[in-house]
Structure 1
């Protein structure tokens, strides 16, 4: 499975002109990242006001490439890159003696930008083979159960509704007691989709261990390399930078996106189970 490179450590002097770092690192960048570097060096002011999609379009690259470039420059994502570039612009314009203030992002933009960054990274990181394996398991399942506690329970319920939308029976459980009761009816040939941001919740891990003993296949929508991921037959990874302040919010949206992709691909595979002229309520 492909993965984004680990975020390089931030330089000791955060006010160092980022443009100088870009010029220094340019030769070591991939050709696509070099396109982003060249565009940023030509438009250091414009980049501050553009979303990732516009930057990618202007530089002639994909959105994940823009995120990779930001991380190659030692930044946590596009928002961090813009902030450091703005600080460098202040220094470059002659304010070397004054420490630039860390301006608060406009209301609502931080979570939106973090989500955009995370989704772009997910698009680049997701292994199509893992999604295909998950689709095959769900398509062949006699019974589909979704387990998710806390905010993950909301995601499980949403996925259940999406399955229903395409005429696919599914059951969502967000209560540990109901999960334990569901084990009484699970059997080989069934599938459990376990959802967790951290993949370290003891109650969920215990339930999944019991599920495996029954011969039931498990799909985990969770952080890779977690305890839950280690128990699963297939992992749909939803990890993100540890420095993102709103990780729970962003993780929930990543989980929703992954499960939407799974539901749609299963529905497309079943084909005839979805009449073409059926009007689905919004």
Structure 2
């Protein structure tokens, strides 16, 4: 049986140019099967050498073989909606996989408790992962008295880590999503040298980063579009904050109520 294009792509990490090609193929499978490599490059908005490298990456012996594959696939493939719907469908599959993973919640609850006990709690993320780190830090700060979000690198990061450790930090939460920045691995190494335990939140349970982490939480990252979708990672992040709230108990509830009182007095939010 011929492997689907989605299955072929799932085994490779694509560059932004290659993702544009994949996105065009997903949206126009029948048209693409009739195009030359130059035409495909033009329609996808990439260079012709990018198409050649894309075809080689997938294991085809030249563009002619790849076009035959596209023709066979287009003839057999059922209609599955447009490329945006296909991307959402893929995210739903990743969320379902995360749901199964969280069926045993003991580990997540244990990690939530360890984050509550670290005062201050350090949260770290570089490049694209900085957004996830900031989101987690914002939520965690509602139930934890001292959350420090770090997005620097190099010696500045080392300064902040050492200071947090002197202040009592015991755990650092590191967000590291593809493409993995070198700074993320450096951060894990620095944390270990300081005696900080690290909780790595990433896209897969085993990678170049995981040997340097004490704990790994993973959720799939989507590569159907030009840029990654972090829907499942976001859901995992919120679940970890929920585990922290469970561990903090009455203290978390008190902090949440205090914030709501403050928000009401300052009229921070528009009425529903």
1:270 aligns with 2:260: no
For 1:207, what is the secondary structure of its paired residue? helix
Alignment correspondent of 1:230: 211
Match of 1:155 in 2: 132
**Structure 1, unaligned runs of 5 or more:** 1-10, 15-70, 77-82, 84-97
Cα offset, 1:179, TM superposition:
2.1
Q: CA RMSD in A?
A: 3.4
The answer to whether the 8 Å contact 1:186/1:216 transfers is no
- 3-state SS, counterpart of residue 246 of structure 1: coil
1:12 equivalenced with 2:5 (yes/no): no
Structure 1 residue 185 and structure 2 residue 175: aligned? no
Match of 1:110 in 2: 86
Aligned ranges 1:100-249 → 2 under 5 Å: 105-106=81-82, 108-126=84-102, 128-177=105-154, 178-187=156-165, 189-198=169-178, 200-222=180-202, 223-239=204-220, 244-246=223-225, 249=228
Aligned residue pair count: 193
For 1:245-272, what per-residue CA distance to the aligned partner results, in whole angstroms no more than 9, with x for missing partners? 239533x222221121111111122112
| Higher relative contact order, structure no. (Cα contacts within 8 Å, ≥ 6 residues apart) | 2
Q: In the alignment, which residue of structure 1 is the partner of 2:55?
A: none
* 1:24-103 superposed matches below 5 A: 99=75
TM-score, normalised to structure 2's length? 0.60
1:223-255 deviation line (CA, Å, top 9, x unaligned): 2111222222211112358xx4239533x2222
Alpha-carbon contact 1:146-1:192 (below 8 Å) kept? yes
The alpha-carbon distance between structure 1 residues 205 and 123, as it changes in their structure 2 partners (threshold 3 A), is: same
